[in-house]
Amino acid sequence: MLKLRKRRINSQEEEKSIVVVGAGVTAPNSRRWISVTKKKTSILVLPVLVCLLLLAAGLVVAFTLERSHRKSKQSEALVLAEDTGQLFSKLLDQALLPVFSLAQFVTEIVEFAELPQKIGPAFEEGSLPFRTDKNGTHRNVTGVCDDESMLKRFNKIASGIKRNAKMEGILVNLQLAPQAVVCMLYPKNNTEDFSDGIFLDSTGAVGHDLLTDPARSFIAEQTVPSDDLVIAGPLTLTQCADCAPTVQKALIARLPIYSESDIITVNGVDYPRWGFAVAIISWDAAVHQSGVYNTFEDAGLEFQLTRTDVRVDDDGRLSENVVVLANTT
pLDDT tens per residue across all 329 residues of the chain: 333 343 443 444 443 333 333 333 444 444 443 444 444 444 555 565 656 555 555 555 555 556 665 666 677 777 777 777 777 777 778 878 899 999 999 888 999 999 999 999 999 999 999 999 988 899 999 999 999 999 999 999 999 999 999 888 899 999 999 999 999 999 999 998 988 888 999 999 999 999 999 988 989 999 999 999 898 888 888 887 777 888 888 889 999 999 999 999 999 999 999 999 999 999 888 888 777 777 777 777 777 777 777 666 667 677 777 777 777 76
What are the DSSP E strand ranges found in the chain? 171-178, 184-186, 189-190, 200-201, 230-236, 249-258, 264-266, 269-271, 273-282, 304-312, 318-327
126 and 266 housed in the same domain: yes
Q: How many domains does one find in the chain? A: 2
Residue 145, domain member (yes or no): yes
Q: Which domain holds residue 152?
A: 79-289
From the list 97, 118, 96, 92, the residue with the least C-alpha distance to 274 is 118
Task: For residues 319 and 160, give the distance between their C-alpha atoms in angstroms, rounded to a whole number.
Answer: 42
- Provide the 10 A C-beta neighbour count for residue 64: 10
Residue 32, domain member (yes or no): no
Q: Which one-letter DSSP state was computed for residue 245?
A: H
156 and 304 housed in the same domain: no
211 and 318 housed in the same domain: no
157 and 302 housed in the same domain: no
224 and 313 housed in the same domain: no
Determine the pLDDT at residue 48: 58
Residue 151, domain member (yes or no): yes
Task: For residues 250 and 83, give the distance between their C-alpha atoms in angstroms, rounded to a whole number.
Answer: 21
From the list 188, 197, 204, the residue with the least C-alpha distance to 246 is 197
Residue 94, domain member (yes or no): yes
162 and 310 housed in the same domain: no
180 and 308 housed in the same domain: no
Contact yes or no for 246/286 (Cβ under 8 A): no
Residue 42, domain member (yes or no): no
Contact yes or no for 204/240 (Cβ under 8 A): yes
Residue 107, domain member (yes or no): yes
Residue 250, domain member (yes or no): yes
128 and 163 housed in the same domain: yes
228 and 137 housed in the same domain: yes
Residue 141, domain member (yes or no): yes
298 and 281 housed in the same domain: no
109 and 207 housed in the same domain: yes
Please enumerate in sequence order all residues whose Cβ is within 8 A of that of 282, keeping only pairs 6 or more positions apart, or say none. 169, 170, 171, 172, 193, 200, 247, 249, 250
126 and 249 housed in the same domain: yes
